[in-house]
Amino acid sequence: MEPRGIGCHPNRDTAAAIAVAGLTVEGLERFGFSALPGNPRLAHVLGAASKA
């Protein structure tokens, strides 16, 4: 387990990082998700990526 705040970037724009890596993002859906009731919802993305 990583110490708090190191390596975990819940506010990162994941879709943009995938595009910068040279992939094409398709069918993107953004949503918030919380694993437990009462915890803050973190941004998630769901979709597909293919080689550009």
Q: Give residue 41's pLDDT.
A: 87
pLDDT at position 12, please? 80
The backbone torsions φ and ψ at residue 48, rounded to the nearest 5 degrees and listed phi first, read -135, 150
Residue 7 in domain: no
**45, part of any domain:** yes
Has residue 1 been placed in a domain? no
Query: What does each of the 52 residues of the chain score in pLDDT, given as a tens digit?
Result: 556 656 677 678 889 989 999 999 999 999 998 989 999 888 888 999 999 6
| pLDDT value at residue 14 | 87
Its domain, for residue 33, covers 14-51
Phi-psi region at 7: left, alpha or beta (left = phi > 0; alpha = psi -120 to 50) = left
Q: For the chain, what is the domain count?
A: 1
In a domain, 9, yes or no: no
Residue 2 lies in a domain: no
| Structure confidence at residue 6 (pLDDT) | 66
